[in-house]
């Protein structure tokens, strides 16, 4: 897969399986991506574990309070891979046959002519945000689309603070000051701290937007004005 005209998209697990598998959203998402492929665009999708991962992690931790973070991480990783297999299956006509589970091993993908590549979780201690950032570095892609269930990043939790302000643009320095520097299994942050440090170092731009607003995603992919938060270096 050549990097020209390629978008790398972090597809949050909360979009794929908010509670049950969101068939309607995935159908519309597939239709949009197929349209874009017809225009010559290519995609790398990295699937998150979302609520599925957290359900397994919470259940296991409740049953065994001494369960290690590594064990919890493996549960989350397998949730991302299950979601990845679902996405690869619905894009079977367009996607490379193997799901990438090691962002350091891309030799076969460099040779692939398929317009879609699917990736999922790698190993304990690293989120799919981090995997996405590594893939962007190795593939030479400078912009990451982070699809989640929020429209914008806010300066504080808008569910708790009515005066929370949306941040249409924020520097990596300020973003990392807001969300700390430690990764925890099941962590729910707009972009995880370890990945953020690497993204800052690699001078990457991350655009966070609501994955349920597919018309907004269409505008972004068409290089039009969109709604979302942009994180980048000053």
The predicted pLDDT at position 75 comes to: 95
Q: Give the pLDDT score at 125.
A: 84
Alpha-carbon distance values, 205 to 9, 54, 66, 179 (Å): 12, 27, 38, 17
Q: How confident is the model at residue 191 (pLDDT cuts 50, 70, 90)?
A: confident
Instruction: Tell me what the mean pLDDT of segment 175-188 comes to.
Output: 70
Q: What percentage of the chain has pLDDT greater than the value 90?
A: 78
> For the chain, which residues make up each domain, given as ranges?
6-232
With vertex at residue 13, the alpha carbon angle to CA 11 and CA 18, rounded to the nearest 5 degrees, is 125
Task: Report the alpha-carbon distance of residue 221 to residue 180 in Å, rounded.
Answer: 30
> Which residue shows structure tokens 């397998």?
78
Q: What are 98-120's pLDDT values in tens digits?
A: 999 999 999 888 888 999 999 99
* Residue 92: both structure tokens together: 């079977």
Residue 2 has pLDDT above 80, yes or no: no
Of the candidate CATH numbers 3.30.499.10, 3.40.640.10, 1.20.1600.10, 3.40.1160.10, the domain formed by 6-232 belongs to 3.40.1160.10
Per-residue confidence band for 137, with pLDDT thresholds at 50, 70 and 90: very high
Mean pLDDT in residue range 28-51: 96
Q: Give the tens place of pLDDT for each residue, 79-88.
A: 999 999 999 9
What is the mean predicted confidence (pLDDT) over 201-228? 96
- pLDDT of 64 over the 90 cut: yes
As a whole number, the mean pLDDT across the chain is 92
pTM (2 decimals)?
0.91
Task: Round to whole Å and give the CA distance between 145 and 88.
Answer: 18
Cβ count near 4 (within 10 Å) = 10
Q: Which tops the pLDDT comparison, 203 or 178?
A: 203
């Amino acid at each position: 897969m050549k990097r020209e005209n390629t978008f790398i998209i972090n597809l949050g697990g909360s979009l794929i399986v908010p509670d049950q598998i969101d068939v309607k959203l995935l159908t519309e998402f597939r239709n949009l991506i197929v349209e874009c492929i017809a225009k010559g665009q290519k995609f790398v999708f990295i699937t998150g574990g979302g609520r599925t991962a957290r359900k397994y992690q919470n259940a296991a931790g409740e049953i065994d309070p001494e369960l290690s973070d590594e064990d919890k991480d493996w549960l989350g990783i397998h949730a991302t891979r299950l979601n990845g297999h679902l996405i690869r299956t619905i894009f079977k006509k367009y996607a490379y046959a193997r799901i990438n589970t090691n962002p350091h091993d891309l030799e076969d993908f460099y040779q692939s002519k398929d317009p879609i590549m699917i990736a999922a979780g790698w190993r304990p201690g690293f989120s799919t945000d981090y995997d996405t950032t590594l893939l962007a570095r190795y593939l030479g892609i400078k912009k990451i689309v982070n699809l989640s269930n929020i429209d914008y990043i806010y300066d504080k939790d808008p569910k708790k603070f009515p005066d929370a302000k949306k941040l249409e643009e924020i520097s990596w320095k300020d973003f990392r000051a807001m969300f700390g520097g430690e990764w925890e299994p099941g962590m729910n942050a707009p972009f995880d701290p370890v990945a953020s440090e690497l993204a800052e170092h690699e001078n990457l731009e991350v655009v966070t937007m609501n994955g349920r607003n597919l018309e907004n995603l269409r505008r972004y992919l068409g290089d039009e004005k969109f709604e979302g938060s942009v994180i980048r270096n000053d």
